[in-house]
Structure 1
Amino acid sequence: MNDEPIDTQNPRRRVTNPQEALALLEGAVPGLTELRRPARAVVDWEGFEKGLGTRLPADFTYLGEWYPAFDIGGFLLVRLPVPGRENSTLRGTLDTLDVLADVWLEPGLGLSAHPAPGGLLPWGESCDGDKFMWSTTGESPQDWIVTVASRGGAWWHYGGGAVQFLADYCTGALEPWGLPPIDLEIPPS
């Protein structure tokens, strides 16, 4: 059980513009743009969000319109819905929420799973079992921050959005508390 308080790392400047956040990520990860779709995909965000019971941050939906699910360095998988098969990703997210609530959330942490107010909502995971989630607090999804649950027991917050988190993790702009340094290789799809 982790009884230590959860610390927060904040970016120098929080990026709220989805296009700017994606440009940061594309600049941080060589080869990522090779996976970029030639045209913006039509994703049923309305149905996906209805199934989750919440809207999602604009940077994440923008990422999902331009990219399929991908992993960085064979380590960090970013879950994105497949156009026309959004229900499959939705089911996976809901299953992960169940596991999060049953196994990961310890009473001493003071955290809960979505749909509880401010609950954690997963958007990615590592091959080692680390979880990458939003803390669904604030007036809108644009205010959500990232919460990292390391399999090794470290829990921490990043005071920015998911796409900016990925860019800062990949460039080393944040300290990867409890996570390994990331290999920037993008495996072919």
Structure 2
Amino acid sequence: MQDLLGAPPVRSEVSFGAVERDLRTVLPIELRKVCSLYGDLLISDYLFIFGQRSMVAKNVWMSDFVRGGHPVIPRSVLPDPGGMLHWGHSVEGDKFFLEHRGNGKWVVSAFRRSWGDWYASEQPVVDWLIGVFSGAVATDWMPEWPKPHWFEGQ
């Protein structure tokens, strides 16, 4: 993924132990790697990936929001038992999730705000992000990406 995005300006040295404890789950290793590199950064003025500093608070907020009733988001969100992991959002209000399919498989799904619908893939986060940033996945609702990408911190 670094081949597409380039090196981030900073790298988080915060452990995921507290995040996993607070969300009551073991995060996929590939998500930990992505969030360690690009977490808590806005990528090219469009996509924000949660890092160790923001992931728990964003999941708790989204869990409360979905528990209150949402017409499109179909499942609960961590820290609710069995919930999806909320891992990022776009500047247009799209919300990105990982759904656990069992046997350690987590796949990307999203609430697409502008479309008002639910997007489901069968791809893990790294494959999905590479597809998005290379223009091979989600081309109907993701932007054309600049080269090179740039980053803004939280």
Q: TM-score range by the shorter chain?
A: 0.7 to 0.9
Residue equivalent to 2:26: 55
**Of the candidates 54, 59, 63, which is equivalent to residue 97 of structure 1?**
63
TM-score of the superposed pair, with normalisation by structure 2: 0.80
- Count of matched residue positions in the alignment of Structure 1 and Structure 2: 149
Matched with 2:106 is: 144
Task: Tell me the TM-score normalized by structure 1.
Answer: 0.67
Task: Give a deviation string over 1:116-160, Cα, whole Å, max 9, x none.
Answer: 43x3220000111101001122122xx010001100213122222
Q: Is residue 169–residue 182 contact of structure 1 (8 Å, CA) maintained in 2? A: no
Identity over aligned pairs, percent: 22
Distance in 2 (CA, whole Å) between partners of 1:187 and 1:102 is 33
Q: CA deviation at 1:68?
A: 4.3
In the alignment, what sits opposite 1:44?
A: 15
The reply to whether residue 158 of structure 1 matches residue 129 of structure 2 is no
Residues 112 and 93 of structure 1: CA distance in aligned 2, closer, same or farther (over 3 Å)? closer
Alpha carbons 1:105, 1:111 under 8 Å: kept: no
Change (3 A) 1:57 1:27: same
Q: Which residue is 1:78 aligned to? A: 49
Structure with bigger helix share is: 1
Kindly provide the amino acid, as one letter, of the partner of residue 35 in structure 2: G
Displacement of 1:105: 4.8
Equivalent AA in structure 1 for residue 100 of structure 2: T
| Pair 187,95 (structure 1): closer, same or farther in 2 beyond 3 Å | same
Higher strand share: 2
CA RMSD of aligned residues (A): 2.4
Matched, 1:176 2:139: yes
More deviation in 167-176 or 88-97? 88-97
Task: Write the distance in 2 (CA, Å) between the matches of 1:91 and 1:110.
Answer: 20
The structure whose RCO (Cα within 8 Å, separation 6+) is larger is 1
Runs of 4+ that moved beyond 4 A: none
1:79, distance to aligned residue in structure 2 (A): 0.7
| CA distance in structure 1 between the partners assigned to 2:99 and 2:71 by the alignment | 13
Is the contact between residue 75 and residue 182 of structure 1 (CA under 8 Å) also seen in structure 2?
no
Whether contact under 8 Å (2:63, 2:76) holds in the other structure is no
